[in-house]
Amino acid sequence: MQDDPQKREIINRRHFSFRLNLFFFVTFALFSVLIVRLAILQFVEGPTLSAEGAKKGTRFNAIPPIRGNIYDSTGYPIAYSTSTQSLYFSIQPDMGLNAAVEKSKELAVELEKVFTKYGDPEKAMTVEDIIRQMDLDFRRNTISTPRRIKSGLTNKEIAYFMENRSNFKGIDIMEESVRNYDTDSIAVQLVGYLKKYKGVRETVDFYNEKTKEKDETLKYLEEEDVGMDGLEFMYQDVLRGKNGLKSYPVNNAERIIGPMQITNPEKGSDLYLTINKNVQLTTETAIMDQLKKITTSTNKYERAEYAKTGFAVAMEVDTGKVVAMASMPDYDPNIWSGGRISAEDYENFQNVLENGTIRSVYGKYDTKAERDKHPSSIVFLGSTMKPLSVLVGLNEKLFNTNTYYPDTGAFSFGKKGYERIIKNSQGHVYGNIDGAGAIEHSSNPFMAAMVGNRLYMRPAVNGKSGVEIWDDYMKQFGLGVLTGSGLPNESKGVIGYFSEAERGSAQSALIFASFGQQGRYTTLQLAQYAAMLANRGSRMKPQFVNEIKDSDGNIVQGYTPEVLNSVDYPVEYWKEIELGMSKVSVQGFEGVDYTFRRKTGTSEQQVAGRTAENAVFIAYAPADHPKLAVAVVIPDGGFGAYGAAPIARKIFDAYDQEIGLNGVPKKKAVNDEASTSTVGDEDAAATNTGEAGTSQ
């Protein structure tokens, strides 16, 4: 049966209409989606895409930031930045890379002529020097990065380039900052120094993190000088400031197609230190003078022929402000000028670059074998430990303030036939002495018998052995832990009593620790400990910055004293050690007009088969209302009373002059008195003149 043609045609028409309608519907849908997408691109994503496009067509050249200055407590500049004009060169790739390189070499010849004619002869550059700075083989920079050719342009060089700019395509002159350090070398190891960022970005974690920075104003520049060690490193982010930016539009051929825009760099903030310039310089000079004196002295008690280095820290008792920190000998930090040091300077000064008041530093010796025969700056405390030993004994109820010990000059311990004997220096015998007397006379037998041995003999307390109890006390007083200063690479010291307890016995560990022979500590730790004795139990955080100010002089950060931890002992315990410390015999303090408490120390140290004697000294003044604590360490310096104490005297005197042990600078009081006397004399003269006129 055949289909009806008319019916088939109707069906075909229906199918055609459906397909046509479907086509129009799909077309409409597609156009709707396209219109919506175009609307989103234009009105929603448009600004972002425009910005991205502009960014891709814009080149940014960073202008180095201006580093903040470092001042002492009086506002005297210790490290400061000065402006200099530098010549930068940018490769012009629009003519083709090979042609651009050849053109750059031709330009180097012309630059050499200008430098020779108008520049500083001491900064002369050869054509080869200039080409090397151009970095035409792209070892250090990308093609669009400007290369610094020369810094410190003379006025004549600047004028010539400005007048003939059209003849030196790709040349630009930028203002930069140069770091300068005071020629008096004020606390140089504390302040630190600068090195080139490109030389430390891979080796120093702090700077390696900076390579990830996205903000153009905070990105570090290859030739930028950055802090290394000391406060320059510790406050790097504060001192650095922000980059300026030079931006210009370019086309696909990297050709500049529009006007340049410049955002000036932002200067870093300034540090105002707690260090007082005059107290610091007095401290440095006192150490060097004392080293010269004791190495040549004919007095057998004073003579210390091996002494080469000295370290001192002066710290305010109630604030923690460090007013002087000296690691001597020091050096002129300007040897790092330009972020580099010569091989000759490094050879001469490598042993004094680091801060010996917070880490291990040795004197200068010809060979390592010779150096190893001498102690570093981290030494045993010796008898300066004894005030704390007495406090431990009193607080642990090993004896009381009325307990007397018969000092026969020696104390022995150990198995029969293997006894070890602890003696007083020079065989002295002191008879019946209490804790104060033991400090006054520096009795080793008292400390060994009454503190070390009794702490060992006593049963464990709360599961803690005597050595662990001793360790707790040491750490409470800042010995064997970081001081909290925040200075980079600070040492915790070297604890020996745990290893001695394992290697020898807990008894020997505690006995030797009781008179300062089981822990080697830094001068800063010693100063913090002395300040804690002075303020009766508060361990102050050593601080070096009084305030931070921005480039407009606004205070960004002020100063707040910080107590790290404290101990609470009965007043009579403190009085006991203070009585002893007020009677210690010492050299160099004759004729002082202020009261002070002190403790000398001569710490013995075995080094390469010889016994080195280190001079150690702590003191604080005034006695009744302590203002300043001082610690001095002279490795190989002999007796503390002779080798170290005279340095402390000069530090106290300088502080009294500049700041005042009683709250008023002595030099101000003297000037005020002189001013008053002058006014009085003038009044008297005026009165006499009047009387003469009357009588006439």
Tens digit of each residue's pLDDT (9 = 90 or more) over 598-614: 999 999 999 888 899 99
Evaluate whether 654 touches 279 at the Cβ level (below 8 Å). Answer: yes
| pTM of this structure | 0.81
Would you say residue 269 has pLDDT above 90? yes
Q: Provide the pLDDT for residue 53.
A: 52
Tens digit of each residue's pLDDT (9 = 90 or more) over 270-318: 999 999 999 999 999 999 999 999 999 999 999 999 999 999 999 999 9
Tens digit of each residue's pLDDT (9 = 90 or more) over 196-213: 888 899 999 999 999 888
What amino acid is encoded at 194 in this protein?
Answer: L
Residue 340 — very low, low, confident or very high, per pLDDT cuts 50/70/90? low
Q: Provide the pLDDT for residue 100.
A: 82
Tell me how far apart the alpha carbons of residues 357 and 327 are, in angstroms, rounded to a whole number.
6
Closest CA to 478 of 395, 540, 545: 540
What's the rounded mean pLDDT across residues 229-233? 96
Tell me how far apart the alpha carbons of residues 51 and 46 are, in angstroms, rounded to a whole number.
8
Tens digit of each residue's pLDDT (9 = 90 or more) over 104-147: 899 999 999 999 999 999 889 999 999 888 888 877 667 767 78
What amino acid is encoded at 354 in this protein?
Answer: E
Residue 692 dihedral angles phi and psi, to the nearest 5°: -65, -40
Please give the mean pLDDT across all residues of the chain. 88
Q: Provide the pLDDT for residue 689.
A: 34
DSSP conformation letters of 440-452: HHT-HHHIIIIII
Tens digit of each residue's pLDDT (9 = 90 or more) over 402-445: 999 999 999 999 888 888 999 998 899 999 999 999 999 999 99
Q: How would you label 470-505 residue by residue, b for 16+ Cβ within 10 Å and e otherwise?
A: bbebbebbbbbbbbbbebbebbbbbbbbeebbeeee
Fold for the domain defined by 65-273: Penicillin-binding protein 2a (Domain 2) (3.90.1310)
Would you say residue 390 has pLDDT above 70? yes
The number of helix segments (H) and strand segments (E) in the chain equals 25, 26
Residue in the block written with tokens 């360790």? 471
Tens digit of each residue's pLDDT (9 = 90 or more) over 368-380: 889 989 999 999 9
What's the rounded mean pLDDT across residues 580-589? 96
Tens digit of each residue's pLDDT (9 = 90 or more) over 683-696: 433 333 333 333 33
What's the rounded mean pLDDT across residues 490-499? 96
The CATH number for 379-663, chosen from 3.40.190.170, 3.30.70.20, 3.40.50.10860, 3.40.710.10, is 3.40.710.10
Q: Provide the pLDDT for residue 339.
A: 62
Tell me how far apart the alpha carbons of residues 349 and 281 are, in angstroms, rounded to a whole number.
20
Would you say residue 183 has pLDDT above 90? no
Tens digit of each residue's pLDDT (9 = 90 or more) over 55-74: 456 776 777 888 999 999 99
Tell me how far apart the alpha carbons of residues 70 and 274 are, in angstroms, rounded to a whole number.
11
**What does DSSP assign to residue 582?**
T
Evaluate whether 437 touches 402 at the Cβ level (below 8 Å). Answer: no
Query: By mean pLDDT, which of 104-118, 366-380, 542-556, 661-675 is the weakest?
Result: 661-675
Domain ranges of the chain: 65-273, 379-663
Residue 177 — very low, low, confident or very high, per pLDDT cuts 50/70/90? confident
Tell me how far apart the alpha carbons of residues 348 and 633 are, in angstroms, rounded to a whole number.
23
Q: Provide the pLDDT for residue 61.
A: 75
Q: Is the peptide bond before 570 cis (omega within 30 degrees of 0)?
A: no
Greater pLDDT, 563 or 54? 563
What's the rounded mean pLDDT across residues 315-341? 88
Which sign does the torsion angle of CA 640, 646, 647, 653 carry? positive
Greater pLDDT, 571 or 687? 571
Evaluate whether 485 touches 358 at the Cβ level (below 8 Å). Answer: yes
Would you say residue 573 has pLDDT above 70? yes
H/E stretch holding 177: strand 171-181
Closest CA to 544 of 67, 69, 72, 68: 72
Residue 250 — very low, low, confident or very high, per pLDDT cuts 50/70/90? low
Would you say residue 358 has pLDDT above 50? yes
Tell me how far apart the alpha carbons of residues 226 and 211 are, in angstroms, rounded to a whole number.
14
Percent of the residues in the chain that have a pLDDT greater than 90, as a whole number:
61
Tell me how far apart the alpha carbons of residues 87 and 487 are, in angstroms, rounded to a whole number.
36
